[in-house]
Amino acid sequence: MSYPDTAAMAGQFAQRFQLMAGNIERAIRGKREAVELALVCLFSEGHLLMEDVPGTGKTTLARSVAASVDAEWRRIQFTPDLLPSDITGVSIFNQAHQKFEFHQGPVFANIVLADEINRASPKTQSALLEVMEERRVTVDAEPHPVPRPFMVVATQNPVDMDGTYPLPEAQLDRFLMKISVGYPDHYSEVEILKAGPQVDRLPQVARASDVAAMIDFAGQIHVADPVYDYIVALVASTRTNPNLRLGASPRASLALLRASRVRAASTGRHYVVPEDVKALAVPVIAHRLILTPEAELRQRTAADVLGEVMAGMPVPQAA
């Protein structure tokens, strides 16, 4: 693809990105940053974990993303009695044909809303591990691919911990981003009261094929060698930080690269700049880190430590 074509297509990407963001904002007011992060996650072909107190719009944001795309979506309410087969599907013997037939579960959709994911047992949570990483489900040694695009949007509450199971590190690492929605400001909350529920009224402004094409284009956004070095150095520094017991893996580097490309395209640029990386470092990396007990006693957070790491790291300068 030639330089002018890439630049022009980046502009088209940005227009559609902003159209979708504006559409979603009709349902969830005053949360432009959270909306844009959710869309960056979608076009990065990643998965999103939203953690916040009840009633702040986590499920509304997830439903609004799904409603804006003419694609198949499913909602799974995670509960302690949910079984892995309730998510992935099950093979049932067909007496007429004298053979087992696979019946797909709700995970076979373009956008899957996993509501209150930490209320299911670790065994049930593990049913998502393969499909989130490899985008396929293996049942009876037979792989079944899920449609493209594919995105898991999971929610969990940080305050109501009775009857919940913390997500293991292996599953947290499969979420490209973890974000919080937060309370709206005064003006936005007044607008919410006046407008009432809007999710069911949102028009579909993109097709699944459009999203897939935007994902493919984002992978072509140019990344200069100094930006590659900056991403690797940033992620690698978390592995030696004295405040962290577990640093970020190469999966975090890949996730940060994909998300940075999408952010660049969403602003109409056909190249990544260090500011893209810095803007996405916390939502992409922080949830993958585990603090040392001493850091926890000092009431540090992974975001705090990551911020200090970025502050002490030289940023590549334009030639």
Residues 136-155: pLDDT tens digits?
998 888 899 999 899 999 99
In the chain, what percentage of residues exceed pLDDT 70? 97
pLDDT digits (tens, 9 = 90+) for 158-192: 766 666 788 888 889 999 999 998 888 999 889 88
Q: Which amino acid is residue 20, in one-letter code?
A: M
253: enclosing H helix or E strand: helix 250-266
Fold (topology level) of 222-319? Helicase, Ruva Protein; domain 3 (1.10.8)
In the chain, what percentage of residues exceed pLDDT 90? 64
So where are the chain's domains?
Answer: 3-220, 222-319
Q: Residue 319 above 60 pLDDT?
A: no
Among 148, 205, 229, 151, smallest CA distance to 19 is for 205
pLDDT digits (tens, 9 = 90+) for 201-256: 899 999 989 999 999 999 999 999 999 999 999 999 999 999 999 999 999 999 99
10 Å Cβ neighbour count for 307?
15
Q: What confidence tier does 47 reach under pLDDT thresholds 50, 70, 90?
A: very high
10 Å Cβ neighbour count for 242?
9
The radius of gyration of the chain's CA atoms, rounded to the nearest angstrom, is 20
Lowest mean pLDDT, pick from 95-99, 150-154, 263-267, 287-291 = 95-99
Instruction: Provide the token pair at 214.
Output: 């935007």
Instruction: Provide the token pair at 184.
Output: 């709206």
Mean pLDDT of 124-145: 89
Strand pairing category for 89-94 and 290-291: unpaired
10 Å Cβ neighbour count for 315?
14
* Strands across the sheet containing 177-179: 73-77, 111-115, 151-156, 48-51, 177-179
pLDDT at 107: 94
Mean pLDDT of 111-133: 90
Q: What confidence tier does 94 reach under pLDDT thresholds 50, 70, 90?
A: confident
Q: Residue 31 above 60 pLDDT?
A: yes
Q: Which CATH number fits domain 3-220: 3.40.50.300, 3.30.260.10, 3.40.50.720, 3.60.10.10?
A: 3.40.50.300
Q: Which amino acid is residue 208, in one-letter code?
A: A
Mean pLDDT of the chain: 90
Cα 254–chain centre separation: 14
CB 111 within 8 A of CB 66: yes
CB 305 within 8 A of CB 65: no
Q: Fold identical between 3-220 and 222-319?
A: no
Q: Which amino acid is residue 282, in one-letter code?
A: V
Mean pLDDT of 287-313: 93
